[in-house]
Structure 1
Amino acid sequence: MAFILSRIFAFFTCCMNLYLIYVGKSAESGGTATNFAGYNPQSFMAARLLFFLYNRSASRDDINRLKDPTQVVFFLEEAVRPGITMKYSFSRNTSTPAMFLPREIAESVPFSSSKLPEILNRFSLKPGSVQADIMKQTLQTCESTAIPGEQRYCATSLESLVDYATAKLGRNIQPISTELEAGAAIQNYTITPGVKLITSADKDRLIVCHKMDNGYAVFYCHGFKRTRAYSVPLQGSDGTKVKAVAICHLDTSAWNPKTYALLEVKVAPGTDSVCHFLPEGHIAWVPK
């Protein structure tokens, strides 16, 4: 457990000196520390998670959330090979990262839509404000119905994130994430030699955890039985290099036929493997 915790801390630099920062901000504000700095509810970063809710029908606003309507979000597994070029956004989230709360604090904060007024009062937020809407959407997403065969969990602390992954996959696991060079932007990226299969859909399982918009760090974790993960090296048209993690879902038979992923790649549920790159700051737990 100690080794896994040390690895995950390395991935989230926002959590350095977490307890000291938390205590300091709480003392200044007299309450629980929150951070909504730089949040834009219409931004592509804010929309990322919506694309990964595979029982959700795509909306007219989805394409408007993209930085470029011609950019790729999802692609078929056959495209995970050297020489393939696609326009993609690996942009960093420039807003100040939300902090993990210590477990004892996170567990004392209600995490239910039915308790939203109490939550808003706890964080001194006004109903109808942007911050309140963030909290509301996060709760609704975490309470939404899972697809048959999908396991879901929203982690509200670092410890609960690690505990969930180890409970589902065992203790011999490691976190992986997309690694970006500074300044990675939306442009054409070409897959270069060196693609590696990380997990096999037949033998291995994995858990993907998506960073959510919230006043404190919350991760939406989910897993499907037939999923592959690849390490994919890419080079942008400006020379920028990215070491991306590609997640490929082999069984999409239970997906909403109108979900954004299937509409983008133009396939019906259960007919092909659908993939996406792991955005910066999101993680996948895989066997060592």
Structure 2
Amino acid sequence: MARSLAALLLLLQIAPVIASAYLYQEDSVGSAFFLKNDLYPGSRMTLHFTHADAGATVLPGGRADSIPFSSAKIPEILSRLSVPAGSPAAAAIRFTLAECEAPPLAGVVAQRCATSFESMVDFAASSLGTREVRAMKTKLSKEGAIPRQAYMVESVRPLPVAGRDMVACHCMPYPYAVFGCHTTTAAVYTVILAGADGTKAEALTACHADATPGIFWPTYKKLGVAPGSVPVCHFLPQDSMLWMRN
């Protein structure tokens, strides 16, 4: 189901506020889609590896559970977190809560916003039907801000995924670490990239053969393909995780 009109209006109101922090900003790897045929050693692409959750505190499960996480409790949340009502941080809170409370997109079996590492593991385990799970993420050789720059693909290695279904968790704009998690299916690859400034990236890459809900029609139009006709890929930002069975 499409995002609600209320959530869309809220997004339009606060987009300038969250643009620098939200992981799917236009030039980030989270929104840089490409075709599977373009992923081979020697290919080049311009990428921006952002790190949207830099400085976000990951709360212990008990602490996170003690703080309300609901649009109906926004005044209490702002008070508990000492966030001024009209501030950019308050706008980000409203946006994330609206996103977390929206119905899943068509094709997504389950989704949940995790406010702690423990709740993220619980959702991954329940979605995949086992506690034997592991998390994979993108790794870079340098810390801190890395400029948007040209990268060359050095190698592409398929990553076996038992059952093909996984749980993807992405960082959301919030005063502490909150991850939007959802089920997904994809072919996964570990891609080694070499940046123009010497940065090396071991980038987790997901290629979706179906018309995945996370890739909207303007992306397919830009790539010149019909939804579901060919695999469409994207790199995962550093602050995203893919959970899969061991």
Q: TM-score, normalised by structure 1?
A: 0.70
Distance apart, 1:72 and its partner CA: 7.2
**Counterpart mapping for 1:86-105 below 5 A:** 86-93=45-52, 96-105=54-63
Partner of residue 22, structure 2: 47
Comparing 97-106 and 127-136, the one that deviates more: 97-106
- State the match for 1:145 in structure 2: 103
Aligned to 1:6: none
Range with greater deviation from structure 2 (175-184 or 226-235): 175-184
Q: CA deviation at 1:278?
A: 0.8
1:205 aligns to 2:165 (yes or no): yes
SS at match of 1:164: helix
- Structure 1: distance between partners of 2:160 and 2:37: 16
Residue segments in structure 2 that go unaligned for 5+ positions in a row:
1-16
Cα deviation digits, residues 59-92 of structure 1 (max 9, x gap): xxx65xx38xxx9711112222212110001244
Q: Secondary structure at the match of 1:47?
A: coil
Q: 1:271-282 to 2 correspondence within 5 Å?
A: 271-282=229-240
User: Could you tell which deviates more after superposition, 143-152 or 239-248?
Assistant: 143-152
Q: Is the 8 A contact 2:188 2:205 kept in 1?
A: yes
| Kept after mapping to 2: 8 A contact 1:189/1:235 | yes
> Does the C-alpha gap of structure 1 residues 238 and 72 become closer, same or farther in structure 2, counting only changes over 3 Å?
farther
Is the strand fraction higher in 1 or 2?
2
Asked whether the equivalents of residues 252 and 272 of structure 1 are also in contact (C-alpha less than 8 Å), the reply is: no
1:191 and 2:153 correspond: yes
For 2:23 and 2:54, locate their aligned partners in 1 and report how far apart those are by CA, in whole Å: 17
Instruction: Tell me what 1:221 maps to.
Output: 181
Query: Does 2:100 align with 1:127?
Result: no
Deviations 1:242-271, CA, capped at 9 Å, x for gaps: 110001222116567545x43442333222
Residue aligned with 2:63, SS: helix
Kept after mapping to 1: 8 A contact 2:23/2:171: no
Contact 2:127 / 2:183 at 8 angstroms: preserved in 1? no
Deviation at 1:185, TM superposition (A): 2.9
Over aligned residue pairs, what C-alpha RMSD do you find?
A: 2.6
User: What are the superposed Cα offsets for residues 109-163 of structure 1, whole Å, 9 maximum, x if unpaired?
Assistant: 2211122122112222222211101111111111222222212111001111111
Distance 2:188 2:152 in 1: 18
The answer on whether the counterparts of 2:152 and 2:195 sit within 8 Å (CA) in structure 1 is yes
The share of aligned pairs that are identical, in percent, is: 36
Give the corresponding residue for 2:12.
none
Structure 1: give runs of 5+ residues left out of the alignment. Answer: 1-39, 50-61
Match of 2:76 among 99, 111, 118: 118
Structure 1: how far apart are the matches of 2:83 and 2:51? Answer: 27
Q: Within 5 A, what are the aligned runs for 1:68-107?
A: 73-93=32-52, 96-107=54-65
* Mapping of residues 165-184 of structure 1, within 5 Å: 165-169=124-128, 170-182=130-142, 184=146
1:4-43 matches, within 5 Å, as 41-43=18-20
> Partners of 1:72 and 1:79 in 2: how far apart?
16
| TM-fit CA distance, 1:42 | 2.7
